[in-house]
Amino acid sequence: MAKRAVAADSLSREAVVDRALEIADAEGLEAVTIRRLGVEFGVTPMALYWHVKNKDELLEAMGDRILASITLDDLDASAPWHEQLGAIIHKLVNALRPHPTCTMLAARRIVASEAGIEVSERAFAVLREAGFSVRDTASIATQALQTAMMLITAEPGAEPGVTPEERERRLAEKRRNIERLPADRYPRVREMVDALLDCDDLQEYYDYGIAVFVAGARTLLAAG
């Protein structure tokens, strides 16, 4: 018999982090446990400790892995600074979208991991060369990167780490709750219900969100 497919995910740090991300994507971050990973790899829980120091380190590695998927070399360094800033935020958004339940893990590693520092350096450079002070660059850059995270977690109708049926159930419940509200006290919330629970064009949602932030940064620079 030839080498089994299983051999491909034999135990290794790489494979553990991969599997942990898959579990988080499918069932949510709370489904990621050392013991569960043991079962997945057909191994006792303690075997995992050979490959990761402890669970915290595993979570850090998951965040690092997401940030490491970002490539920056195709950024256009000759574009206007605000376009470059928008492009960086877009990169981050695209890296995070496949792993919405792990947004916080990536956020915590943005000035800690190698890949995160790379992104930060780029954002800082763009803003400094645009003319922002050190202090304002720090503010705008962290806010920019966190805006990417925020757009993911606030995505309308997203119920990450949950089966499609469960997602439908939760959205229907939210809708019922909103529609139960008295129309005289909460006319606007009721008017918003569709826009809040469902998004027909996610690309537009992200573009708009990023545009708001970038426009704000431009105004503040102009205002000095």
Partner DNA sequence: ACCTGAACACCGTTCAAGT
Among 124, 140, 122, 114, residue whose Cα is nearest residue 72:
122
Considering only 29, 66, 115, 214, the residue that binds a copy of itself (CB under 8 A) is 214
For residues 101 and 151, is the Cβ–Cβ distance under 8 A?
A: no
Structural contact between residues 37 and 20, judged by C-beta atoms closer than 8 angstroms = yes
Quote the Cα angle for 33-34-39, to 5°: 95
Within 10 Å of residue 37's Cβ, how many Cβ atoms? 24
Q: Which is nearer to DNA, 35 or 169 (CB)?
A: 35
Q: Does 202 bind a copy of itself (CB under 8 A)?
A: no
Which amino acid, residue 133?
A: S
User: Which residue type, as a one-letter code, is found at position 84?
Assistant: Q
For residues 143 to 182, the per-residue mask of contacts with a copy of itself, x marking binding by CB under 8 A and - elsewhere, is x--xx-xxx-xx-x-----------------x--xx--x-
Q: Tell me the one-letter amino acid at 51.
A: H
Question: Shortest Cβ distance from residue 14 to DNA (Å)?
Answer: 12
Contact positions with a copy of itself (CB under 8 A) in 67-126? 104, 107, 111-112, 117, 120-121, 124-125
Q: Give the DSSP H/E element, type plus range, for residue 115.
A: helix 114-130
- Which span (42-50, 113-121, 197-205, 214-222) binds DNA, by CB under 7 A? 42-50
Residue 203 backbone dihedrals phi, psi, to 5 degrees: -60, -45
Other CB atoms within a 10 A radius of the CB of residue 84 amount to: 22
- Contact region for DNA (CB under 7 A) — 31-39, 69-77, 84-92, 128-136? 31-39
Binding site for a copy of itself (CB under 8 A): 104, 107, 111-112, 117, 120-121, 124-125, 128, 134-143, 146-147, 149-151, 153-154, 156, 174, 177-178, 181, 185-189, 191-192, 194-196, 205, 208-209, 211-220, 223
Binding site for DNA (CB under 7 A): 10-11, 32-36, 43-47, 49-51, 54-56
